[in-house]
């Protein structure tokens, strides 16, 4: 049923050619792919991202007379990233504009929120393979790269600016993992 429904949709996913829109607050969602365990268990993929700002959640149901039907709920966000979006793409539309904001004397905050296993660490920290991590592909590293590139520009270099960062982890209502750099 879900496959048939998806076949009827006009897909217009977010692409790198799309303009970056200006937001005072930007709320985004990223769909993660099904993991190996979910694929092995033949779990249903019940999330569809048909366009750059829409998420659909599908719920297969059955009436008392055993007629099957699909209930769909639609949610709108500033940006919706499908399961093929790279961290670079997520960064481009979410945190990169924040880097520009701080160099224009603005304030900026970026955080990831979600259930355990939803992909926060992958998005913010980079790619993981077993115990190995490629942190160069996470939002943190991409933002740091751009901050230091901006600092090399003549108009900022002469200001002798310093970079300070603080990371917090909030888990079960407790603040931990406070690191300052």
Residue stretches of the annotated binding site for ATP: 114-121
Q: How far apart are CA 46 and CA 74, in angstroms?
A: 12
DSSP annotation of 115: -
Q: How far apart are CA 138 and CA 56, in angstroms?
A: 26
Q: How far apart are CA 122 and CA 117, in angstroms?
A: 9
CA atoms within 13 A of residue 35's CA, in its CB half-sphere: 4
Tokens of 44: 């249903």
- DSSP codes of every residue in 40-65: HTT----EEEEETTEEEEEEEEE-TT
| Cα 174-176-181 angle, rounded to 5 deg | 150
């Amino acid at each position: 049923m879900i496959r048939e429904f998806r076949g009827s949709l006009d897909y217009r996913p977010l692409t790198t050619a799309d303009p970056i829109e200006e937001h005072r607050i930007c709320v985004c969602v990223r769909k993660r792919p099904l993991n190996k365990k979910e694929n092995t268990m033949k779990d249903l993929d019940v999330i569809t991202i048909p366009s750059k700002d829409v998420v659909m959640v599908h719920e297969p149901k059955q009436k008392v007379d055993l007629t099957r039907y699909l209930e769909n709920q639609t949610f709108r966000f500033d940006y919706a990233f499908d399961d093929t979006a790279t961290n670079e793409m997520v960064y481009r539309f979410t945190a990169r504009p924040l880097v520009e904001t701080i160099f224009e004397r603005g304030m900026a905050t970026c955080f990831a929120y979600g259930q355990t296993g939803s992909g926060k660490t992958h998005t913010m920290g980079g790619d993981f393979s077993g115990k190995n991590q490629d942190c160069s592909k996470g939002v943190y590293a991409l933002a740091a790269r751009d901050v230091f590139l901006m600092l090399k520009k003549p108009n900022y270099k002469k200001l002798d600016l310093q970079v300070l960062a603080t990371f917090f982890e909030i888990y079960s209502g407790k603040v931990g993992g406070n690191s300052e750099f």
